[in-house]
Structure 1
Amino acid sequence: MSFAIAALLFEMAIGETYIVGSPNGSWDENTNLQSWIKSQKFRVGDNINFQYGPPHSVVEVTEADYNSCQTSNPVQGYTNGNTMIRLSSPGKRYFICGVTSHCTGGMKIEVDTVPAAPITSSTPPATPLTPPVPTFANPLMPPSPAPPLTPLPPPPPPVFSSQPPTAAPPQPSPTATPAVLPPAPSEAPSVSPDLRNAMVPSTNQPPIVETPEFLSDMLSPSSPPRPPLSSANKEHFHHLILPMGLGFGLAMILGF
């Protein structure tokens, strides 16, 4: 902003310089000065340069003397051949040649000066900052209600089958193992009277079982080994040992 004002002041101080009649003429009788002056636009701060030779001159006059080419009451006169006129204020100024015949021949101009161009800044004016208005919670206003809760969709109804449920096959119950009962006394195998008397213990002393001779020889550690039993002895041994085992077992059961 300050730079633009300084530039404008500098331009007003210097301004544009216009050479009268240029570029193809000058301040003389051969130049169409009226056509030249109409093509120009002068502003405050510009300069008009009159270049001429003798017998020409530059005389500033009033509007009335300009129209009648009178030089008897000049505002200002110049004869140096290179006259610089500064346009320091807006308005109209009138210049004629000091030779009357030259003025009537067209050596005169009316300069219309307009005010200087207004200052235009390339940057827009700064917008004043508006302080933000603080917002306070209104204590009288109730708090905004919470948004309603969206209910969950109900679960789908159970699907029932039209066929009756298939019953599971019954599990087989464990088979009870029958208890083994001892045989009744009536079912006990028959024992010879001599063997029974030998196996049943008496009330006074333990029963004495007679060991056969062939067993005594086998169980005695001091006796020499006997030859193996014959077929008749083996058969006799089987018939004797089996009933003795059965009778001993029966006696143990009855004792308990």
Structure 2
Amino acid sequence: MAKAIAMVASSFLILLLASPSVFATDYAVGDSSGWSLGVDYTTWASGKTFKVGDTLTFNYDSSTHQLDEVSESDYKSCSSSNAINTHNDGNTKITLSKAGSYYFLCPTVGHCGGGMKLAVTVSGSSSGSPSTPSPSTPSGGSPSTPSTPSSSTPATPSSPAPKDSGAVGVSSGVTQLALVGSALVLGFMF
């Protein structure tokens, strides 16, 4: 009996340690200022890396403001006549479900023109997903020499790579979970 309890306890511990950890980030738009006039949303978004699965939470006074998701052209012209989605609950959570650009504005007259608009670009990988490895040179081949740019314009430095969150990707996590499950079944058989 003690052996069975020890086996169950150790199997449970292994399961907990091997389970995948995938983290999405919930961004409070405008931080403590929320969705309101007087906030520079371009600056707010500039230091952030948005990924598939992250969420944007818009907190606002629904008697004064609303939230419309719009196209890029409507964003640039501050028009909400063709809004993709309209929200007016005062606490709107938007899940960034696909890679690409998202555009938001407040349709109250004068608010978008006053800066109450937000554009975010979402990368294709979800938070915590492992990065795709770079292809390697085939064996026996020699690495190619990069060509020199033809213009005299200096190269623009690339932005630093985002820090690894330490999370396990879903596909590798599922594999780990299957292995742990197999070990548990085999452990109970002996």
**TM-score between both structures, scaled by the size of structure 1:** 0.42
Distance 1:88 1:5 in 2: 23
Residue among 52, 64, 80 paired with 1:44 = 52
Q: Is the 2:38–2:115 contact (alpha carbons within 8 Å) kept by the matching residues of 1?
A: no
| Consecutive unaligned residues in structure 1, runs of 5 or more | 122-256
1:118 to 109, 126, 129: 129
Equivalent position amino acid for 2:38 in 1: N
TM-fit CA distance, 1:4 = 6.6
Find the partner of 1:84 among 83, 93, 96: 93
CA distance in structure 1 between the partners assigned to 2:45 and 2:70 by the alignment: 17
Amino acid paired to 2:30: G
Q: 1:49 is paired with a residue of what secondary structure?
A: strand
Question: Once superposed, what is the RMSD of the aligned Cα atoms?
Answer: 2.0
Alpha-carbon distance in 2 for matches of 1:58, 1:7: 32
- Decide whether the 8 Å contact of 1:69 with 1:100 is kept in 2: no
Structure 1 position 36, deviation (Å)? 0.5
**Equivalent residue, structure 1, for 2:39:** 31
Partner-residue secondary structure (3-state), 1:67: helix
- Measure the CA separation in 1 of the matches of 2:104 and 2:19: 32
Q: Give the 3 Å change call, closer, same or farther, for CA 70–37 of structure 1 in structure 2.
A: same
Residue 88 of structure 1: how far off its partner (Å): 1.1
Give the whole-Å Cα distance in 2 for the aligned partners of 1:82 and 1:45.
18
How many residues were matched structurally? 114
Give the secondary structure class of the aligned counterpart of 2:21.
helix
Query: Which string of whole-angstrom CA distances, capped at 9 and with x for unpartnered residues, describes residues 93-130 of structure 1?
Result: 10000113100110001011112243277xxxxxxxxx
Q: Measure, in 2, the Cα distance between the counterparts of 1:5 and 1:67.
A: 44
Question: Structure 1, residues 199-229: CA drift from partner, whole Å, max 9, x if none?
Answer: xxxxxxxxxxxxxxxxxxxxxxxxxxxxxxx
Cross-structure match for 1:109: 118
* Contact 1:92–1:113 under 8 Å retained in 2: yes
Q: Which of 7, 21, 30 in structure 2 is aligned with 1:7?
A: 21
Q: Which residue of 1 aligns with 2:139?
A: none
SS of equivalent residue, structure 1 residue 36:
helix
Whole-Å separation in 1 of the counterparts to 2:42 and 2:34: 12
Q: Could you say which structure has the greater relative contact order, defined with CA pairs below 8 angstroms and 6 or more residues apart?
A: 2
For 1:226-237, what aligned pairs fall within 5 Å after superposition? none
The answer for unaligned runs of 5 or more in structure 2 is 1-14, 132-167, 169-190
In 2, the alpha carbon distance for the partners of 1:5 and 1:92 equals 32
Q: What is the CA–CA distance in structure 1 between the aligned matches of 2:84 and 2:50, rounded to whole Å?
A: 20
